[in-house]
Amino acid sequence: MVLSFFRGGDTGLDHVVTRSVAMVSDARHSFDLACTALMSGADPRTIADDVRETDLRINANEQQLRGELAVHISVHGPNDIGEVIGLILLLKKIERVGDHAKNILDLAESGVSFIGEPDIDGLLEERRIVSGFFTEASEILAEHDGIPQSFRERVDVMTSQIQSRIDGYMTSEQPGHQVVPRAVYHRYLKRIVANLNSAVFAATEPVRVTGSSD
């Protein structure tokens, strides 16, 4: 079910989704920059301020919009409560994506670099696919027509692939300085994918609230 205010006209909530699209774009900007520091030789010091300022902007938007949603409920009553809960979840998931992009920057700042490593091509391809998920999530939110089945399937495939890598790192006989940074990075990558998926799900499948109780 797509958020009902998109079907029934403007109830004062549509701007929240519009702003959330901008937040996803900001999160992608941070993700791409942080991965550049890990995989393409960019000096983390040259991008750190940009990533952290972008993360602060995402956080500020989330807090502001959550406040507006609380006001909306206090003014309009419980009629939109399902949509409001869905939007709150949407905003929180995007905020978490921004946090994990910043975590990837932290890896680069600690000295981790995958440049010239034997698996760099695979890492770059994963980054490209995940970066594309940001764009698709933005389009889904902007068009509010539901989640395409192909998006769900590709997210599931990527999640399984990332988990397989993590499992492999846990049993690898390679030195810790090689496998530990990769395991940590892929843990962040998996959470980014999961939170993007949850964000679009929250917007397109709002929480159903009934008046009865068990």
pLDDT digits (tens, 9 = 90+) for 121-151: 999 999 999 999 999 999 998 886 778 899 9
pLDDT of residue 213: 38
User: Can you give the residue range of the structural domain that contains 8?
Assistant: 4-204
pLDDT of residue 15: 83
Q: What residue has token string 């940590």?
A: 184
User: How many domains is the chain built from?
Assistant: 1
Of 168 and 74, the structure prediction assigns the larger pLDDT to: 168
Asked if the model's pLDDT at residue 9 lies above 50, the reply is no
175: alpha, beta or left, given left = phi > 0 and alpha = psi -120 to 50?
beta
98: amino acid identity, one letter: G
CA distance 186 to 166: 7
CA distance 26 to 51: 9
CA dihedral angle for residue 21, residue 23, residue 24, residue 30, rounded to 10 degrees: 150
CA distance 69 to 75: 10
* 64-77 burial: b if 16+ Cβ within 10 Å, else e: ebbebbeebeeeee
pLDDT of residue 115: 94
The answer to whether residue 209 sits within a structural domain is no
The answer to whether residue 64 sits within a structural domain is yes
The answer to whether residue 28 sits within a structural domain is yes
Asked if the model's pLDDT at residue 187 lies above 90, the reply is yes
The answer to whether residue 210 sits within a structural domain is no
pLDDT of residue 209: 52
**Residue 4: which pLDDT band, with cuts at 50, 70 and 90?**
very low
Q: What residue has token string 């980054």?
A: 127
The answer to whether 144 and 86 are in contact (CB under 8 A) is no
pLDDT digits (tens, 9 = 90+) for 27-78: 999 999 999 999 998 899 999 999 999 999 999 999 999 999 988 888 876 7
Which residues, at least 6 apart from 22, have a Cβ–Cβ distance to it below 8 Å? Answer: 61
The answer to whether 74 and 148 are in contact (CB under 8 A) is no
The answer to whether residue 212 sits within a structural domain is no
The answer to whether residue 211 sits within a structural domain is no
Asked if the model's pLDDT at residue 94 lies above 70, the reply is yes
The answer to whether residue 34 sits within a structural domain is yes
Asked if the model's pLDDT at residue 189 lies above 60, the reply is yes
The answer to whether residue 103 sits within a structural domain is yes
The DSSP output letter for 155 is H
77: alpha, beta or left, given left = phi > 0 and alpha = psi -120 to 50?
left
Tell me the average pLDDT of the chain.
Answer: 88
Residue 102: CATH number of its domain = 1.20.58.220
